[in-house]
Amino acid sequence: MPGSILSTAEQALLRELTASGVRYMVVGMSAALLQGARGATEDINLWFEDVTDPRIGAAVKAAGGVWVSGSFGIGPPRIGGDELGDRFDVVIHMSGLADFATEFAAVRREVIDAIDVPVLPLERILASKRAANRPKDRGIIAVLEDTLLVLAETSGKK
């Protein structure tokens, strides 16, 4: 579909997660970009309330993908497969933030390809980037701060 950000399978996954009631949110740089930050990322980070929720695997399968639960010491859960590709990364911890339920209570709603998705607010992304303090996080902090300033100025808040 011209003008789409997501592939058809990626759209199907987000729709399936929402329709099945899985609590998740888009986090990280992909969430920042949705809120007006400048930059780039290749992946879409998803933070789930409960990665053991069987509805996640069912949603991934319905979208034509494969859910690897991350059990048996093989690392964090993964989403992939021929149709879904490898753009979705599963986040199991957000540095410097409260638990999922607390952060979820303040999510923003953004529309991606006509799909309403929960997104971690820009202020919380910034807090997490500061707490993680990785080189790639330090490099984007000023961009996120500037984005927040511009958004505050355009909304009349300072």
pLDDT digits (tens, 9 = 90+) for 121-145: 999 999 999 999 999 889 899 999 9
- Tell me how far apart the alpha carbons of residues 116 and 14 are, in angstroms, rounded to a whole number: 9
Average pLDDT, the chain: 92
- Tokens (6 digits) for 30: 């992909």
Give every CB contact of residue 157 below 8 A, 6+ residues apart in sequence.
none
pLDDT of residue 70: 73
In which order are the strands placed within the sheet that holds 78-80?
66-68, 78-80, 88-91, 44-48, 24-27, 115-119, 108-112
Closest CA to 124 of 8, 27, 21: 27
Tell whether domain 8-155 is in CATH 3.10.450. no
Those residues whose C-beta lies under 8 Å from the C-beta of residue 25, and which sit 6 or more positions away, are 31, 46, 47, 103, 104, 107, 117, 118, 119, 120
The domain ranges of the chain are 8-155
**DSSP E strand boundaries for the chain:** 24-27, 44-48, 66-68, 78-80, 88-91, 108-112, 115-119
* Residue 62: both structure tokens together: 């319905």
Q: What is the pTM of this model?
A: 0.91
The string of pLDDT tens digits covering residues 28-72 is 999 999 999 999 888 999 999 999 999 999 999 999 999 998 765
Biggest alpha carbon distance in the chain?
Answer: 51
